[in-house]
Amino acid sequence: MQDFMMLKDEALLRRLNEKGFTTPTPIQTQLLPLIVDGKDVLSQAETGSGKTLAFLLPVLDRLNFDANDPSVLILTPTRELALQIEGVVKDIAVYKRLKPVTVIGDMSYEAQEVQLKQKSHLVIGTPGRVLDLMSKGTIKRKNINTLIIDEVDHLFDRGFAETIEDIISLLPYDRQNIYTSATMSDELEPFIQETLVEPVRVTIEPKNQQVFDQIRVDVDPYDKIETVVDVLVEEDVAEAIIFCEEKRTVDEVADELSDLGIPVVRLHGDLKQPVRIKALKQFKEKHRPILVTTNLMARGMDLIDLPLVINFDLAYTEDVFTHRMGRTGRMGKKGKVVHLLAPDERASYETMKESLSFHDRELTYPQREQDDTKQYVKMLGRQKKVETNDSVTTLYFNGGKEKKLRAFDFVGTISSLPGMDFNDIGAVTVYPRHTTVEILNGKAEAVLKQMKQTKVKKKQLKVHIDRDTHL
């Protein structure tokens, strides 16, 4: 198969074409026909291989907007990965108007319940919150015919095995199971044998070594932050991720870079979920294109064209080491990884290098001048916002259930505006005191202008672009 024509849905194919996805990656070539045929699948592929679309496309292809209850459940090891998959679904299935609901901890329980009581097609979440809502009947499970567990190995590493088994016990027996895993271990095998029915195993051999350049920099531990700035300025990259092992190190590095005027965001487990979501948004849209983070971000962030990863601290396991590197050099794009090695890290690094069989080169970065740093900061400041979805804008209305408003009221009003029809409206979510409406096909500006003088069910509502949909 040289393209995605085995998919049937014209709306899905249209969006793939717009995004420039014309040739499947190896994992997509192998998984798509298996999932279309309804097989249970266990896939093993490195990060950046296109596995998310590999398991999503055939599932999205068969979903129907007219369905009211979810038929797909996706479990992830981290909140960030759940939100990442939600974003991919909204983007790729925009013309199908499919509605994913993401249920994760540290976010409003009530808001998630509101969304689950309305039309939804997929539920995406972390095991703890999913089990909680499923046990209470808030997640309607009778129509769930597809279970996807992304990074099942990581879920087991984090101690979710029992929770996942409890979730599976509540699901319909007759369903398709799709598991992905970056690594395989003997501990996973009993679970796989017990929950998958005659699974087809698909393994794509790693190729990361061929798509990014690895640089070793031997450095005094007290000079690491200075060296980070030297690397950023010399490489002159528009965005980068800097990995640290500890949360306090993240704060120290971020503070130092901020003092130099470098637009940086920090991300670690002590930050509340809304703050983490906002940080990711700022990074992705290049408002603050330098991200300093812990291993929290080694998985679950889909980045294309990220030019540079800096390992401020050496990862302590091969698994994390590999996933950090996988943030760059994705989907065949060229990237670079710079390892800053203090004396006490060098032996461990050499062991990993031998075990993972990668090549590197030693380099000493020149110390930058003050004017060099200023020029670099100016360059970052000129970066334009990158729209993560060029066809969808979410509008916020200050009225919801408490004003007796329903999704139908918004759809009817907006679709009757000049130049609009039903196909220009995406997901509508009615909360107690507000409503969000996705406007498609680049028509949001026109709708926004008209709705400021148009009533919904005889009520004049305030309306604006919802720039922080998740907050």
> Per-residue confidence of the chain (471 residues) as pLDDT tens digits?
457 878 888 989 988 888 888 888 888 889 999 999 999 999 987 666 678 899 999 999 999 988 889 999 999 988 888 988 998 898 899 888 899 999 998 778 888 888 898 889 999 999 999 999 999 999 999 999 999 999 888 888 788 889 999 999 999 999 999 999 877 777 888 898 899 999 999 887 655 444 568 899 999 999 999 999 999 999 998 889 999 989 999 999 999 999 999 999 998 878 877 777 778 778 877 788 899 998 866 555 555 567 899 999 998 777 777 777 766 654 455 678 999 999 999 999 998 888 878 888 999 998 888 888 889 988 888 765 544 445 678 899 999 999 999 888 999 999 999 988 887 888 888 888 899 998 887 888 899 999 999 999 999 999 998 865 433
Question: What's the Cα-to-Cα distance from 84 to each of 76, 94, 183, 349, 416, rounded to whole Å?
Answer: 10, 15, 20, 31, 33
Q: Quick check: helix, strand or coil at residue 192?
A: helix
d(CA 49, CA 41): 17
pLDDT of residue 338: 93
Cβ atoms of 135 and 170 closer than 8 Å? yes
Q: Quick check: helix, strand or coil at residue 88?
A: helix
Burial of 377 from C-beta contacts in 10 A (0-12 / 13-18 / 19+): middle
d(CA 239, CA 284): 9
d(CA 467, CA 469): 6
Q: At what angle do helices 51-62 and 79-92 cross, to 10 degrees?
A: 50
- Decide the pairing of beta strands 435-439 and 425-430: antiparallel
Cβ atoms of 291 and 265 closer than 8 Å? yes
- For the CA atoms of 21, 24, 28, 34, the dihedral, rounded to the nearest 10 degrees, stands at 110
Kindly state the tokens that stand for 416. 């009757």
Question: What's the Cα-to-Cα distance from 375 to each of 10, 137, 235, 310, rounded to whole Å?
Answer: 47, 57, 13, 21
Q: Pick the closest to residue 333 from 20, 31, 58, 1 (CA basis).
A: 20
Q: Pick the closest to residue 405 from 442, 440, 381, 436 (CA basis).
A: 436
pLDDT of residue 89: 92
- Decide the pairing of beta strands 146-149 and 72-75: parallel
Cβ atoms of 168 and 192 closer than 8 Å? no
Q: Pick the closest to residue 59 from 45, 70, 46 (CA basis).
A: 70
User: DSSP class of residue 400?
Assistant: -
Cβ atoms of 397 and 456 closer than 8 Å? yes
What is the value of pTM for the model shown?
0.69
One-letter amino acid at 189 equals E
d(CA 173, CA 410): 38
Q: Pick the closest to residue 313 from 274, 291, 346 (CA basis).
A: 346
The number of residues making up the chain comes to 471
d(CA 345, CA 312): 11
User: DSSP class of residue 456?
Assistant: B
Kindly state the tokens that stand for 157. 């590493």
Q: Residue 286: which region, alpha, beta or left (left: phi > 0; alpha: psi -120 to 50)?
A: left
d(CA 302, CA 320): 16
For 54, residues 6+ apart whose C-beta sits below 8 A from its C-beta are 24, 25, 27, 28, 30, 31, 32, 43, 45
Question: What's the Cα-to-Cα distance from 350 to each of 278, 344, 353, 409, 419, rounded to whole Å?
Answer: 37, 11, 5, 64, 63
Cβ atoms of 48 and 331 closer than 8 Å? yes
pLDDT of residue 155: 87
Q: Quick check: helix, strand or coil at residue 75?
A: strand
Residue 124 CB neighbour total at 10 angstroms: 26
d(CA 323, CA 354): 17
Residue appearing with tokens 């879920």: 155
